[in-house]
A and B are shown apart, each in its own frame.
Chain A
Amino acid sequence: MFGRYSFLRETLPIIGFAAAYLLFSYWFDSSYYKLILTLVPIWATMGLAWNLLSGYSGLVSFGHASFFGLGAYTTTLLLVKFGLTPWIGIPVSMVVGGLSGALIGWPTFRLRGHYFALAMLAYPLALLYVFEWLGYQEVAIPYKRENGLAYMQFADQFGYVVTATLMMVAAMMLSRWIELSRFGLALLAIKQNEAAADAVGIDILRAKLKAIILSGAVAGAIGGLYAIVLLVVTPPSVFGMLTSAQALIVTLFGGVGTFWGPVIGSVILIPLSEVLHAELGHMLPGIQGVVFGFAIIGVIIAAPEGLFWGIRDRFMPVYSGRGREAGSSKVLEEASLHRTKPTADAPVILRVSNVSKNYGGLKAVQNVNFDVPKGAIFGIIGPNGAGKTTLFNLLNGFTPLSTGQILLDGQDITGLRPNEVCRLGVGRTFQIVRPFMRMSVLDNVIVGAISANENDDMARQQAMEAIEIVGLADSADRLANSLTNKELRLMELARALAGKPKLMLLDETLAGLGSGEVEDLLHVIRFIAARGVTIVIIEHTMQAMVRLADTFLVLDHGAVIGLGEPADVTKDPKVIEAYLGKKWANRA
């Protein structure tokens, strides 16, 4: 999905679709049908606005009516109170929408999960009451007999269809451009695994704010047009639950996270609901709500990501590219043997001084001190619950320290956020690998390179290099959902490597692999180290670690109980006691 936005490949289909739509609409004479044909692109655009935030980044918003309503009122009141033409009013609405996006997003993004959804729900309802209280229960657009065009009042209804379609085209192009850009990739990474995205250098808050500002802007603009088309604005019609719900529903039905989704959903559901309302409305009032409800229930059970993906997944091949599993090349094996361990006077790349982490009374990490020389493979081991992952989270910036200091190449990185630590040259892998299933290995790995590279081509190149280093070059085009466990681990390594780190923190990379697969990974890790990257690795599988690491740090109950070469450390009675128990240590 990450790629260049080429005019031919991307814009032409959109314009083609729009042209076909307009051609189709032109045949209808009745103003009633023309209204429906106007509403379709309007709701498609609203869905696209919702998609920009919630579809691409996974932050589900039930409150997009806030932006829509503010946009509607802005355009209307500017016209009614100041006589300002909607041709200017709608762009102003766009700005208002964007600003309110920033205002709402800034505090609300601090909230997690359910709380975020509930807060977003509250904003439009609150605005509804405020606007009613302000006296704007019903604001009507005055009819401009002369010079109607200057006030966006078309003699022929078709004019509205065209305007709405043009706005939809703009929103579609914006969405597609985002999908292909590094910004879109960052949002996708955030959606997959926010912590991993942070560790790979993505500024999470900035990305989310950018998304909500764009989302709010589009919603505000289309809200303005909606008011002009309907000629009257009331608080429930623009701030009400149904507005937010409708944006969500057309997108969900058509396909989340793709710019065709809201369009498909709108094209199917809007005419359906309007026709139902017209034909059956007097007998069965509210029938369109029932139909929408069932549509939503059906979609979420049968194809939870929407029609677009449901259909595409069924017909698309599981993987593209050759199906040969990545093997361990002889070249890697030999190259890895050429690695030289750092000498005693090698510079220190990571200095951990007196680091502790307390959770209330619990000392998760206690007064840990160690130096890691440049070019070393440094192992951290210890029984379950010893504090190894906590230590990593401290090094990375995910968890704030209680005491102590961490120096990276002489620079104090204590207290920095994970994405800042990453940009200073620290890469990290995680235990639970969550790749982008529908994307290729290359696209998965590029996420690791984008924060280190301004230039997209450079990012792609660095990603390819990383993929070659880990031995997945043959699989670069394969989709991630076809990879074996070992290959997923290698891909995770490549992603961390793509940012060209000086230091890599590997969190249980070997866990659960068979002995042959472990061998392959050991070669890769040694190869990476041979190229000058310092490695700090947590592992449980001792047999592999004793052969891999130059030095071991042994943790137990958060404290260091051993530090040195494997041969010495494994004979240390304190270490034996920690692993096997006191009585065993006496026996040794």
Chain B
Amino acid sequence: MLEIENLSVAYGGLTAVSDVSVTVGKGEFVAIVGPNGAGKTTLFKAISGVVPPRQGRILFEGKDLLAVPAFQRAHMGIAHVPEGRQVFPNMSVADNLSMGAYTEEGQRRHAEILDMILSLFPILAERGKQLAGTLSGGEQQMLAIGRGLASAPRLLMLDEPSMGLAPAVADIIFERIIDIRVKAGLSILLVEQRVAEALESCDRGYVLETGKVVLQGPHQTLLEDKRIRQAYLGM
């Protein structure tokens, strides 16, 4: 479904991503892990079209993404849940979700998808009229994920959903992501710093370090690989 081939991205004068190749198959859950500064967020930005790559290709369902302007990608079926939540702070929770449904597919199936979102994150129903900027970190993350789902995507990209959240809250978020995987049947591409959770839930994983893929494989293999610890802690 998603094929990234030999991608190199420079960001702010630095080579953030170097010759990276990643694939996500239909219905697959793929995790990309790696320490800070490894280039994970830059990779996502390149897929979303916010940062142009220097080299390489990105194909989504066979189409060349690089020829498509950034805002069109949502309409093609890619949902990006950004790092740091990035909700619309001065719009209500309900409006945030309806903005998520900006795509045609999202509009068509809005009622049905809204049901699913609210069953996953009931707190959003309670807070419907509240301004999104006043929600707690965890609630905002739920809203951001809900907003992503609302566009009825075929690929859901999640950028560090646990960042800045207390461990207990992050646990809940992870559980929900697994629920989504089960309920919505879409492909998921997850970028995370918290390796264990990410690798446990995914089908396949890639380990990124200073912009390069240093390890990849099915999740079980990766979980047992000592080199992950080396990548994170340097010894």
Contact = CB atoms under 8 A, between A and B. Distances in A.
Interface of A: 362, 383-385, 432, 485, 511-515, 540-543, 545-546, 557, 566-567, 570, 575-576, 579-584, 587-588
A581 B234 contact: no
Nearest 3 A/B pairs, CB to CB = A512-B14, A581-B196, A540-B36
Given A383-B163, A580-B195, 13 more contacts: A384-B160, A384-B163, A384-B193, A485-B14, A512-B15, A512-B16, A542-B234, A557-B166, A576-B229, A579-B193, A580-B196, A580-B232, A580-B233
B36 A566 contact: no
B163 A385 contact: yes
B62 interface: no
Contact of A511 (B14, B160, B195, B200): B14
A557 B197 CA distance: 18
A542 B194 CA distance: 16
B207 to A, nearest CB: 11
A130 B94 CA distance: 50
Contacts of A514: 15
16 contacts: A383-B193, A384-B160, A514-B15, A540-B36, A540-B37, A541-B37, A542-B232, A542-B234, A545-B234, A570-B233, A579-B193, A579-B195, A580-B229, A580-B232, A580-B233, A582-B196
A361 B115 CA distance: 31
Interface of B: 12-16, 35-37, 137, 160, 163-164, 166-167, 193-198, 200, 210, 228-229, 232-235
Contacts of B160: 384
Nearest to B166: A557
Contacts of A587: 196
A570 B234 contact: yes
A581 B196 CA distance: 5
B14 to A, nearest CB: 3
A435 to B, nearest CB: 12
A546 B229 contact: no
A543 B232 CA distance: 8
Contacts of B14: 485, 511-513
Contact of A583 (B35, B137, B197, B234): B197
Nearest to A585: B196
A439 to B, nearest CB: 19
Contacts of A566: 234-235
Nearest to B196: A581
A515 B232 CA distance: 16
Nearest to A381: B36
Chain A CB within 10 Å — which of B16, B160, B163, B235 has the most? Answer: B235
Contacts of A511: 14, 37
Kindly name the residue among B14, B36, B193, B232 whose own CB sees the greatest number of chain A CB atoms within 10 A: B36
Please indicate which of the listed interface residues B15, B200, B232, B233 has the most CB atoms of chain A within 10 Å of its own CB: B233
Contacts of A580: 194-196, 228-229, 232-233
A121 to B, nearest CB: 27
Contacts of A383: 36, 163, 193
Contacts of A582: 167, 196
Given A485-B13, A512-B15, A583 B196 contact: yes
B200 to A, nearest CB: 7
Contact of A581 (B37, B197, B235): B197
Given A383-B36, A485-B14, A583 B193 contact: no
Tell which of B137, B166, B196 has the most Cβ of chain A within 10 Å. Answer: B196
A382 to B, nearest CB: 9
A567 B197 contact: no
A328 to B, nearest CB: 19
Nearest to B233: A570
A385 B164 contact: yes
B233 A579 contact: yes
A404 B16 CA distance: 38
B212 to A, nearest CB: 11
> Most chain-B CB neighbours within 10 Å: which of A515, A567, A587?
A587
Contacts of B233: 542, 546, 570, 575-576, 579-580
A513 B210 CA distance: 9
Given A542-B233, A566-B235, A582-B167, A512 B37 contact: yes
Given A384-B163, A512-B14, A541 B210 contact: yes
Contacts of A579: 35, 193, 195, 232-233
A384 B234 CA distance: 17
Nearest to B37: A540
A369 to B, nearest CB: 22
Nearest to A488: B13
Contacts of A362: 137
B167 A588 contact: no
Nearest to B193: A383
B234 A588 contact: no
A377 to B, nearest CB: 15
Contacts of B235: 546, 566-567, 570
A580 B164 CA distance: 15
Contacts of A384: 36, 160, 163-164, 193
A352 B195 CA distance: 32
A557 B168 CA distance: 13
A584 B193 contact: no
Contacts of B163: 383-385
A567 B163 CA distance: 26
Contacts of B228: 580
Contacts of B164: 384-385, 557
Nearest to B198: A581
